């Protein structure tokens, strides 16, 4: 397992993040979590996610992408230790992403 | 007498039960049609704005103020009359704009979607819905500018440009779509953001995100249960305007889904409150109000209903704004820190209409975080 990986949402996923779920349309938070976040987490010890450079995020995208990891079965405390979310453009957005992990209920099933 | 084997008897019993089940289903269907016929007589044949034409088609006169905000009851009644006449009674209808003096954008959007649905369902009869042009140049200019004629593929009525009223708002047209496509949403958000050329980067991103959220959530709640009337596909309609002088945009989304009140299970406290006010169940307006809080959505899962919350936060964070939701019989309005629920209408909208208006002159927008 590699030590640290860096992901740019704009470059590694989509410059225009979409809705919450796959069935709502492309570039969803669910797709980002399943196809990018989770695989990178499984292959690396630490993950740095850069939110800059996109057209903007719906709050549901952020909640499903990051909070959805807990609902998917990842341990909350382990995620908080291993994931760093950064945004120079909007630091509040990075805080929202971490808060989504903190607020997520592991007993709820993810889609 | 021939003795029937047990297995054969079971088969006979099964066929007998199946025939009985089908007979009861036909009886229910027949009863339902009769019920609509009685409602049709009340709503159509006895309505003062309905005239029977020489060819037995119906002339449906729209009210002078064809607007949900100025004339909710008559506007909604007219749209319901169109739907009932075309889809239930299978009659040809001429939508008569001649006496209309003002057209609300939202009313035009809902009417457009209803006409398109009627024509799509009555595919064998392209003349099931016809129309007349308004005599009022103001009404005609509004219909032209908002894209009503274009959306229906109708030639606009040419007006005398020298005397045509100047449009304050730049309308973005009317579009329908089947899913929250980010590229299309992005193009619409760019149109809306043109009202705020002064916004800084973060404010633009936040507003773009809010628009994506608002549009995506309209689908999440749109078609979870079957509506009262037949719908074709999971389709939603979008319209709105931009006013660069006022630094204002309004976004409107309409869908023919089951409606918010039918996707929210009332809580015990809401039922108790309804009883205190003399009703058995909470009003549609109260249920819409409940749905706009973070914890109440059709999925009833925390953090799922962020669309309304996002829109309300921007209403609070910007210089001015409002969130207006019409769903079935309910009407909910949110302005800065204040909410109001109107008494339920007699007629159902047959879906959900969301109007979100923002006015903002500063370069930044400070929105509360989700903590």
pLDDT at B303: 42
Per-10-residue mean pLDDT of chain B, 371 residues long, equals: 74 84 71 61 80 84 95 93 88 94 94 91 78 93 92 85 66 82 76 88 87 75 57 77 91 84 64 61 83 58 63 91 92 88 85 92 78 42
pLDDT at B272: 59
pLDDT at B6: 78
Digit-coded pLDDT (tens) for A12-52: 999 989 888 888 788 999 999 999 999 999 999 999 999 99
pLDDT at B296: 47
pLDDT at A1: 64
Q: Which residues contact B278 (CB under 8 A, 6 or more apart)?
A: none
pLDDT at B52: 84
Average pLDDT rounded to a whole number, residues A88-92: 91
Of A25, A60, A99, the CB nearest to B179: A25
CA distance B370 to B287: 23
Burial class, B192, CB count within 10 angstroms (exposed 0-12 / middle 13-18 / buried 19+): buried
B295 lies within 8 A of chain A by CB: no
Mean of all residue pLDDT scores within chain A: 91
ipTM of the complex: 0.87
Q: Which residues of B touch A16 (CB under 8 A)?
A: 182-183, 186
Specify the DSSP class assigned to residue B366. -
- Of B81, B45, B83, B43, nearest in space to B227 by CA: B83
pLDDT at B356: 93
CA distance B76 to A70: 45
- A57: confidence class by pLDDT, cuts 50, 70, 90: very high
| pTM beyond 0.90, yes or no | no
Of A18, A21, A60, the CB nearest to B182: A18
pLDDT at B333: 94
How many of the other CB atoms lie within 10 Å of CB of B177? 17
B307 lies within 8 A of chain A by CB: yes
B220 lies within 8 A of chain A by CB: yes
């Amino acid at each position: 397992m590699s030590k640290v990986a860096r992901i740019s949402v704009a470059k590694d996923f989509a410059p225009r993040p979409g809705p919450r779920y796959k069935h709502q349309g492309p570039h969803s938070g669910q797709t980002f979590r399943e196809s990018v976040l989770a695989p990178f987490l499984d292959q690396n010890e630490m993950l740095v996610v850069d939110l800059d450079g996109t057209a903007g995020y719906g709050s549901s995208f952020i909640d499903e992408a990051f909070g959805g990891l807990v609902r998917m079965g990842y341990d909350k405390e382990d995620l908080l230790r291993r994931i760093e979310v950064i945004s120079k453009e909007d630091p509040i957005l990075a805080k929202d992403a971490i808060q989504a992990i903190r607020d997520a209920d592991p007993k709820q099933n993810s889609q | 007498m021939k003795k029937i084997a047990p297995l054969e008897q079971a088969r006979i019993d099964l066929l007998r039960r199946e025939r009985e089940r089908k007979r009861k289903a036909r009886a229910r269907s027949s009863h339902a049609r009769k019920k609509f016929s009685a409602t049709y007589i009340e709503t159509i044949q006895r309505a003062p704005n309905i005239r029977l034409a020489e060819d037995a088609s119906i002339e449906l006169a729209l009210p002078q103020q064809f607007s949900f905000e100025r004339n909710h009851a008559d506007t909604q009644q007219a749209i319901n009359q169109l739907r009932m006449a075309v889809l239930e009674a299978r009659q040809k209808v001429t939508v008569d704009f001649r006496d209309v003096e003002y057209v609300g954008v939202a009313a035009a959007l809902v009417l457009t979607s209803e006409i398109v649905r009627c024509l799509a369902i009555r595919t064998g009869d392209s003349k099931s819905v016809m129309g007349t042009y308004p005599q009022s140049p103001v009404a005609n200019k509004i219909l032209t500018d908002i894209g009503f004629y274009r959306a229906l593929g109708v030639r606009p009525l040419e007006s005398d440009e020298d005397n045509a009223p100047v449009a304050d708002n730049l309308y973005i047209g009317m579009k329908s779509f089947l899913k929250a496509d980010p590229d299309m949403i992005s193009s619409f958000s760019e149109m809306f953001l043109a009202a705020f050329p002064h916004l800084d980067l973060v404010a633009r991103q936040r507003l773009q995100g809010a628009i994506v959220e608002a549009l995506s959530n309209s689908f999440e709640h749109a078609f979870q249960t079957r509506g009262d009337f037949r719908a074709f596909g999971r389709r939603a309609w979008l319209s709105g305007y931009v006013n660069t002088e006022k630094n204002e945009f309004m976004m409107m989304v309409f869908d023919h889904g089951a409606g918010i009140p039918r996707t929210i299970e009332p809580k015990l406290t809401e039922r108790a409150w309804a009883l205190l006010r003399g009703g058995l169940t909470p009003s549609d307006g109260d249920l819409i109000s409940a749905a706009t809080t973070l914890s109440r959505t059709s999925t009833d899962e925390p953090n799922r209903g962020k669309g309304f919350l996002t829109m309300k936060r921007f209403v609070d964070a910007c210089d001015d704004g409002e969130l207006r939701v019409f769903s079935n019989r309910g009407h909910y309005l949110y302005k800065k820190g204040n909410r109001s629920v109107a008494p339920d209408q007699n007629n159902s909208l047959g879906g959900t209409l969301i109007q979100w208006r923002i006015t903002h002159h500063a370069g930044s927008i400070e929105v509360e975080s989700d903590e």
